[in-house]
Homo-oligomer: A and B are copies of this chain.
Amino acid sequence: MEAVESAVSREELQLAARNHGMPLEALRYPITPAGLHYLLIHYDIPVVDSVTWRLEVGGNVRTPLALSLDDVRARPRVSLAVTLECAGNGRALLEPRPISQPWLVEAVGNAEWTGTPLRGVLEGAGVGDRSVEVLFTGLDRGVEGDVEQDFERSLPLDEAMREEVLLAYEMNGQPLPPQHGFPLRLIVPGWYGMTHVKWLKRITVLTQPFDGYQQARSYRLRRDEEEPGEPVTRMPPRSLMVPPGIPDFLTRKRFLESGPCVLSGRAWSGGGEVVRVEVSPDGGRTWSDAGLEQPLSPFGWRGWNFEWDAQPGEHELSSRATDATGASQPLEPAWNLGGYANNAAQRISVVVR
């Protein structure tokens, strides 16, 4: 396997050592155990006293609120399996490599999130006329692009009012772990990970679009700094495969016994239901349809499997997903300055013996 093009810096290694992807064999679990779910933390995990913590709801509302965790937990309760993926997933496979968290393909997870619909909270506060966006502010504070900031991101009002958008206080039936946003985080099914603001402290209804760092400068699809670019929003389709056989420790190359076997994996899209997964056992020359399992929820990934008669030799395996809008995975990545949304088909090298 090739070296990445340019020297990885201490900075990138520091990020790679503290953040982590989901080991790909964990695609086996329909619901990702908490410690295996991918994790990207911009600044530090904040220390939160859940007794004194309050969620402020303000801005252009009729009745500003300050909700305790008990207040939030007393509201209607919804649980939903949701696939979350980092917008930078695939970044380190781009050339030249944008310098940030150097993800390969594994920045994903599918947890069951439990919380209360955001919509009810916003309706309780009373959204004022001329509102256009809702801003979500976390307790995590740091410096990025020379700007000192709380991590904060906005959503268009109509997205914020979708019934499946949650203020979540549990992950897989347990209180949120510190690293996943304790005591409360936003869950916006279908959108990339940066949207799901962790350690929420404030929700602000806006009459003008938010132009803060994480909205206007970061998370834009653009070729150079001068271009404003399109915002990064929903996840395009992606599929991943449980690496078959056993790995080499260092290269992660796979070794497999010859004969019939079942390849399997998961596929998801923020654009609509995954309607097709294809598998190529020969480096993308030929493709065949995989069988599809029922999705775990409208917003959770969909299992797939494919019978393969593994013949001795070296093979490159790939899979690609297509969603209900007809969107599919490219075989080669499309480069952009921030290294976002690279959903090119995964390639796994396997030696069959």
Please list the residues of chain A having a beta carbon within 8 angstroms of any beta carbon in chain B.
Answer: 1-4, 6-21, 23-26, 28-29, 33-37, 39, 41-45, 47, 92, 99-100, 102-104, 106-107, 141-144, 148, 177-180, 243, 246-252, 255
Contact = CB atoms under 8 A, between A and B. Distances in A.
B44 A106 contact: no
Given A144-B248, A246-B43, A4 B15 contact: no
Contacts of A255: 143, 148
A85 to B, nearest CB: 14
Nearest to A102: B13
A44 B144 CA distance: 35
A171 B143 CA distance: 35
A142 B249 contact: yes
A1 B11 CA distance: 8
B142 A247 contact: yes
Nearest to A37: B35
A2 to B, nearest CB: 6
A208 to B, nearest CB: 26
Given A35-B177, A36-B178, A249-B143, A16 B18 contact: no
Nearest 8 CB-CB pairings of A with B: A20-B20, A8-B8, A35-B35, A16-B16, A144-B249, A25-B44, A143-B248, A18-B23
Contact of A252 (B14, B92, B250): B14
Nearest to A24: B18
Contact of A23 (B8, B25, B41): B41
A23 to B, nearest CB: 4
A7 B10 contact: no
Contacts of A12: 8
Given A36-B179, A243-B44, A144 B250 contact: yes
